[in-house]
Each structure stands twice: as C-alpha cells, then as structure tokens.
C-alpha cells in the first residue's frame, strides 16, 4: 500500500486519538516527577523528615509492625493478583485484536518510565519520549485498521452450524419438568434445524432483528437457550428479559448497560459504557414515556450517538447478539417502548 493510500487513515486516527494520548503522556510525566521528587530528591527527603520527625517520638517505627505489614501485604496481593491477571489478559487480548488502541495506557507507561527511570538531560528524554509515542501511534493505528478490516469480513455458511456432537446428544437425558431445557441432551424434539436456520439468518444474512413467535409454553425459551449455547462460539451473547426492568423508563438504560457489561467481560472497550449511557439518553428523547429522563442530557442527536456506539462495537472481533425473552409478559406501553428502542438500535 502506498503512502498516499494509508496516510488519510493515519491522519484521521491521530486526529481522533491525540487528546487521549496527550492525557496519558501528561499523567505519566507527572507520575515520574512525583517519583523523582520523593525518591531521588534529597532535599525533599530532608524536608519530610524534619516535618514529620515529631511523630517518630510517639510510635515505635515500622519495624515493630513488620509482621502485620507483611500479613496485610500478602492478603492484598492474594486478593488483587487474580483480578490484575484477568484484567491484564483481557487488555492484552483487546489490544491484539484492535478493540483498544492503548492510546492512553501506553503513552502513560512510556512517559513514566522515560522521565522516571532514565538518566539524562530533559531535552534528550523529551525527544526519546516523543519518538516512542509516535511509534505507539503507528502501532495503535495498525491495530485499529486490523479491527476495521476484520469487521468487514463475513462468516461462510459452512462455518455456521450446530455442532454434530450436540445433535448426537439430543434427547439422551430427558426431564420430567416442564421448565425450559438448557442443554442439547434434554432436547427430545430435535430443534437443531430451527437453531441452524436462526444461526444462518443472524450470522450469515446479518438480519438486524428477528422474531420468534409461538404460543405460551410452546418452547420459545428452550430454543433461545440452545441458540445461546451455539452463538457463544461466534458472537457475544446478551440475554435480556425486558419484562424484569420494572418500568419503561429503566428499560433502555438497562438494555444498553447489559450490552456494554457483557462486551467488557470479554474485551476492554474504551468508552463503551459511556457511549451506551449517552445513547440510552438520546433514545429516550424519541420515546414519549421517557421524555423526563432526557431532561438531564446534553444536546446530542440520536444519529451521532448511534454512530458512536456503532464505532465502539465495530472494533469487537465478534458480532453482538441480544436475545430478548418473555416479551409476551410485558405491558402494552412497555412493548411499544421496546419496539421503538429496537428500531433505534437496529
């Protein structure tokens, strides 16, 4: 690809991300300044020692509490280590797949390390930091380009079908309960064909909205449960019961909030929760029953917020599928609200 072909894309990326990178760089530089001030500056150490010297006469010093300090540190480490490992793994996977560009975290770490650890004149360190951040911009742009190219790809029909092993287990473990089934081995009615049809419509044809109709007790929830099992191999699945929202006012925010939370369980999507919150507020303006919610909002158009949410979700390596169940339990006003929200989100 020639320079003139990719330069507009890089320029647009820099225009979109420079403020985030600048914020990360500024905070990293500030962190490095504090570290040098507290550790390397002897005058600051003397000042703090003189300022807090009277306190030393009233306690035995940290050595007397060493056992407690070690125990507390160990407990905190055991508590935080799994969470930090999960977060770092999720962030690394997100950066690899282009979901996040790292344009805040990487400049922050780079600036903190360059100005906090490396010796040398400030001008030389600043030049080194600028060079590294330029490299980070190029890497971030490349990650973003990969995500955009991937979002345009489509699964092939041969790739989307119920696993043969699941179909072979169908009906091998029957239940006497009339509750919806949750696994293929409980499927005595061989629902594989209809699940395959829905998979094809969602993932290959990319139909934005589908409806599953049936009488009460005909097995709609069972089909959705089996569908969710298969969809998890191809998509991020959000199961939502709109009739549990409690009020029509809460339906929009809870639905979009569930979408954002489910996506963030697998990937770090910067700003997705804020985008979902803003879109819920923008959609509230078009739903008469939600007009009171929109009084707290800034003046933004629905199209702007929908495009913002679309850009956030388009970076994901998987499509997002929302399964709405128990719609037949909703009141008329709630169903009208739900339909308007779906129309806005399609």
Question: For residue range 73-96, what is the model confidence (pLDDT) as tens digits?
Answer: 999 999 999 989 999 999 998 988
Give residue 303's pLDDT.
75
Question: Which structure tokens are listed for 242?
Answer: 């709109």
Place of tokens 């629905």: 302
Burial grade of 327 (CB within 10 A; 0-12, 13-18, 19 or more): middle
Looking at residue 289, what is its pLDDT? Answer: 45
The pLDDT, as a whole number, for residue 261 is 92
The one-character DSSP state at 161 is S
Start-to-end C-alpha separation, the chain: 34
pLDDT at 197: 92
According to DSSP, residue 182 is labeled: -
Of 343, 168, 185, the closest CA to residue 252 belongs to 343
User: Quick one: pLDDT at residue 187?
Assistant: 86
Token digits of residue 151: 């979002």
Say how far apart CA 74 and CA 79 lie, in whole Å: 9
Residue 196 contacts residue 223 (beta carbons within 8 Å): no
Nearest-angstrom CA–CA distance, 229 and 218: 19
**pTM of the predicted model, to two decimals?**
0.77
d(CA 205, CA 198): 10
Which ranges of the chain have pLDDT less than 50?
Answer: 288-297
Percent of the chain having pLDDT more than 90? 27
With beta carbons less than 8 A apart as the criterion, state whether 163 and 230 touch: yes
Structure confidence at residue 199 (pLDDT): 93
């Amino acid at each position: 690809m020639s320079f003139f072909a990719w330069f507009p894309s890089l320029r647009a990326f820099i225009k979109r991300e420079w403020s985030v990178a600048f914020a990360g760089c500024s905070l990293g530089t500030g962190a490095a300044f504090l570290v040098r001030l507290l550790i390397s500056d002897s005058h600051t150490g003397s000042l703090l020692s003189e300022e807090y010297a009277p306190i030393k006469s009233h306690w035995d010093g940290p050595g007397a509490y060493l056992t407690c300090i070690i125990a507390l540190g160990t407990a905190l480490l055991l508590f935080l280590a799994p969470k930090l490992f999960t977060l770092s793994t999720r962030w690394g996977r997100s950066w690899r797949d282009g979901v996040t560009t790292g344009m805040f975290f990487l400049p922050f770490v780079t600036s903190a390390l360059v100005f906090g650890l490396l010796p040398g004149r400030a001008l030389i360190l600043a030049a080194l930091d600028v060079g590294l951040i330029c490299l980070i911009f190029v890497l971030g742009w490349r990650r973003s380009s990969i995500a955009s190219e991937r979002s345009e790809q489509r699964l092939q029909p041969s790739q989307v079908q119920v696993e043969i092993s699941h179909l072979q287990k169908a009906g091998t473990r029957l239940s006497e309960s009339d509750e919806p089934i949750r696994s293929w081995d409980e499927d005595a009615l061989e629902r594989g064909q209809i699940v395959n049809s829905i998979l094809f419509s969602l993932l290959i044809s990319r139909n934005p909205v589908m409806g599953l109709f049936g009488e009460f007790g005909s097995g709609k929830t069972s089909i959705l449960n089996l569908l969710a099992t298969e969809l998890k191999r191809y998509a991020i699945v959000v199961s939502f019961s709109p009739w549990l929202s409690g009020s029509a006012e809460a339906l929009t925010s809870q639905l979009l909030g569930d979408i954002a939370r489910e996506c963030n369980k697998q990937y770090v999507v910067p700003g997705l929760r804020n985008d979902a919150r803003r879109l819920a507020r923008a959609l509230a303006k078009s739903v008469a029953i939600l007009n009171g919610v929109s009084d707290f909002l800034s003046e933004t158009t629905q199209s702007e917020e929908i495009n913002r949410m679309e850009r956030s979700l388009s970076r994901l390596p998987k499509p997002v599928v929302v399964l709405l169940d128990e719609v037949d339990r909703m009141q008329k006003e709630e169903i009208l609200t739900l339909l308007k929200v779906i129309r806005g989100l399609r």
